A = this chain, B = another copy of it.
C-alpha cells in the first residue's frame, strides 16, 4: 500500500516522497517498508533511531522523527495506529491460496478442515474436526487432535502434539480507547510460531501477535487451559502447569517452571531457570536465574514461607 493511501485512509495530511508500505511494526523492529508509531513518550529514544519508512506521531514529537522516515502527524496516535492496523488486516481465509500440501505418510482425516495454502509435513496426524488455517504450516510428525483451531499463517514445528479444543492464533487483546470510553480494535496482523517438540494441552489459547510472532520455543510443554497473550516469547523447555496466564509481550527464558494458576502481567522479562510455585502473581521482571518465587505480590519463596508462618502466628494471637 502506498503511504499516501494510508494517510488518506486515516484522514491525515501527508507531504513528501511517497513510498510503498507493506506492514506495521514497532519503532525498534520496523524496516524502511514498514509503518510505525509513537503512542507513548517512553519510547521517544526508539523514535530517534527508528528505521521505519514512516511513523504516526503527534505534532510535538514530529521534530524527533529521523531523516528518511516520513511523519504522519495525528492528534491521537493510539487511535490512528488502531485505524492503520485495519488497513493491513488479512481476511480470515486467504481466498487466493493454492490447494493444501500434505507430506508423505501423513493421515489427514477427510473430516478435518484444512484451508488452502496450508502446508502439512510428513507423517503428521490431523484428526477430524481440526481446523488448519490458510497458509498455516505443520511440521513433520506432529499430531493435531480433534477440534483444535489453528488460525491462518501460524506455524507449528515438528513432533508437536496439540490437544483437543486448543486455539492457536486467535486475536491478541489490544484496543485503543476513545474519549467516550469506546474500544477501537488494534488488528492483530502477526502470527504464532510454535517450535519443535512442543506439547500443548487441551483448551489452551495462544494469541497471534499484533506484529511479528508470538513464540513458544522448542521442547516447552503447556498443560490444559494455558493462556498466552500476543507477542509473548516462551523459552525453550519450559513447563507450564494448568490454568496459567501470560500477559502480552512477556518473555520467559529457557527451562522456567510455572506452576498452576500462575499469572504474568504484560511486558515482563523472566530469567531462565526460574521457578514459580502455584498461583504466583508475577508483576515484575526477574533478572537473576535459578530462583524460586511465590505469592502475589511476588516474593522469593523462602520469604513467602516466612510470611505464611507470621500470618499463622497472627491468626492464633
Contact = CB atoms under 8 A, between A and B. Distances in A.
Contacts of A148: 147
A267 interface: no
Nearest to A163: B170
A245 B170 CA distance: 20
A212 interface: no
Contacts of A127: 92-93, 131
Interface stretch (A6-14, A73-81, A98-106, A218-226): A218-226
A115 B110 CA distance: 12
A315 B297 contact: no
A112 to B, nearest CB: 9
Interface string A292-317: 00001101000100111011101101
A165 B149 contact: yes
A221 B314 CA distance: 37
Interface in A213-272: 219, 221, 223-225, 227, 229, 237, 239, 241-243, 245, 247, 254-255, 260-261, 263, 265
A113 B128 CA distance: 6
A161 interface: yes
A257 to B, nearest CB: 10
Interface stretch (A17-25, A31-39, A54-62, A276-284): A276-284
B227 A227 contact: no
B227 A205 contact: no
A199 interface: yes
A96 to B, nearest CB: 14
Contacts of A166: 165, 203
A111 interface: yes
Interface string A182-194: 1101000000000
A265 B259 CA distance: 10
Contact of A146 (B131, B161, B260): B131
Given A128-B113, A183-B219, A307-B311, A147 B145 contact: no
Given A93-B107, A166-B203, A203-B204, 20 more contacts: A91-B125, A92-B145, A113-B128, A131-B146, A133-B146, A145-B170, A149-B164, A149-B202, A165-B167, A165-B203, A165-B205, A167-B203, A170-B201, A173-B223, A173-B242, A203-B205, A223-B227, A243-B245, A245-B261, A278-B281
